[in-house]
Amino acid sequence: MNATPALSPAHVSQRGALLLGLSGLTKRFGAFTALSAVDIAFHAGEIHCLLGENGAGKSTLCNLVFGVHAPDAGTMTLHGAPYRPAGPRDALTAGIAMVHQHFSLVEDMSVVDNLMLGRVRGVLDRRGWAARLDALGTRYGLELAPFARVGDLSIGERQRVEIVKCLMREPRLLILDEPTAVLLPDEIASLLAVCRRVAAEGAAVILVTHKLAEIREAADRATVLRQGQVVATSDAPSTEINRLVKAMIRRDLEGLDATTAATLGLEDESAVAAPAVHARPDGPDILQIDGVSLRDSDGALRLDALTLTLRAGEIVGLAGVEGNGQSELGLLLAGLDTPTGGRLVMDGQDLTGRTPSDFTAAGIGIVPEDRHRVGAIADMNVAENMFLNRTRAFTRFGLLQRRAMHDAGAELMRRFDVRATGPDARFGGLSGGNQQKAVLARELTAPGLRFLLAAQPTRGLDVGAVEAVYGLIREASARGIAVLLISSELDEVLAVAHRVAVIYRGRIVGERPSRPDQREAIGAMMAGHA
Looking at residue 6, what is its pLDDT?
A: 38
Q: Which of 205, 226, 124, 222 is nearest to 163 (CA)?
A: 205
Residue 69, amino acid: H
Pairwise CA distance, residues 530 & 527, whole Å: 8
Cβ-proximal residues to 414 (8 Å cutoff; 6+ apart), any chain? none
- 260 domain-assigned: no
Please compute, for residue 331, the number of CA atoms within 13 A of its CA located in the half-sphere on the CB side: 14
Cβ-proximal residues to 486 (8 Å cutoff; 6+ apart), any chain? 318, 326, 329, 330, 369, 453, 454, 455, 456
Q: Are residues 205 and 328 in the same domain?
A: no
Mapped onto helix, strand or coil, the DSSP state of residue 303 is: strand
Report the helix count and the strand count for the chain, using DSSP H and E: 17, 22
DSSP 356: H
Q: Are residues 372 and 416 in the same domain?
A: yes
Structural domain count of the chain: 2
Residue 418's domain comprises 285-526
Identify the segments of the chain with pLDDT beneath 70.
Answer: 1-15, 181-182, 184-185, 251-278, 460-462, 530
Q: Are residues 404 and 517 in the same domain?
A: yes
Q: Are residues 415 and 477 in the same domain?
A: yes
Looking at residue 280, what is its pLDDT?
A: 76
Q: Are residues 447 and 489 in the same domain?
A: yes
C-alpha separations of 520 from 201, 328, 494, 526, 527 in Å: 32, 26, 12, 10, 11
Q: Report the largest interatomic distance among the alpha carbons of the chain, rounded to a whole angstrom.
A: 75
Do the beta carbons of residue 203 and residue 20 sit within 8 Å?
no
pTM: 0.70
Q: In 502-530, which positions are buried (b, 16+ CB within 10 angstroms) versus exposed (e)?
A: bbbebbbbbbbbbeeebbeebbbbbbeee
Q: Are residues 383 and 464 in the same domain?
A: yes
- 161 domain-assigned: no
Pairwise CA distance, residues 326 & 303, whole Å: 9
Q: Are residues 219 and 355 in the same domain?
A: no
- 16 domain-assigned: yes
Pairwise CA distance, residues 496 & 498, whole Å: 7
Domain finish residue from 230, 251, 272: 251
Q: Are residues 97 and 214 in the same domain?
A: yes
- 521 domain-assigned: yes
Radius of gyration over alpha carbons of the chain, in Å?
A: 24
Domain finish residue from 251, 273, 296: 251
- 502 domain-assigned: yes
Q: Are residues 210 and 359 in the same domain?
A: no
Domain finish residue from 251, 272, 295: 251
- 263 domain-assigned: no
Q: Are residues 58 and 187 in the same domain?
A: yes
Do the beta carbons of residue 362 and residue 345 sit within 8 Å?
no
Q: Which of 450, 409, 470, 58 is nearest to 231 (CA)?
A: 58
Q: Are residues 505 and 441 in the same domain?
A: yes
Q: In 430-449, which positions are buried (b, 16+ CB within 10 angstroms) versus exposed (e)?
A: bbbbbbbbbbbbbbbbbeeb
Q: In 45-74, which positions are buried (b, 16+ CB within 10 angstroms) versus exposed (e)?
A: bbbbbbbbbbbbbbbbbbbbbbbbbebeeb
Q: Output the domain CATH number for residue 182.
A: 3.40.50.300
Looking at residue 527, what is its pLDDT?
A: 82
Give backbone dihedrals phi and psi of 297, rounded to 5 degrees, phi first: -65, -20
Q: Are residues 242 and 318 in the same domain?
A: no
- 146 domain-assigned: no
- 144 domain-assigned: no
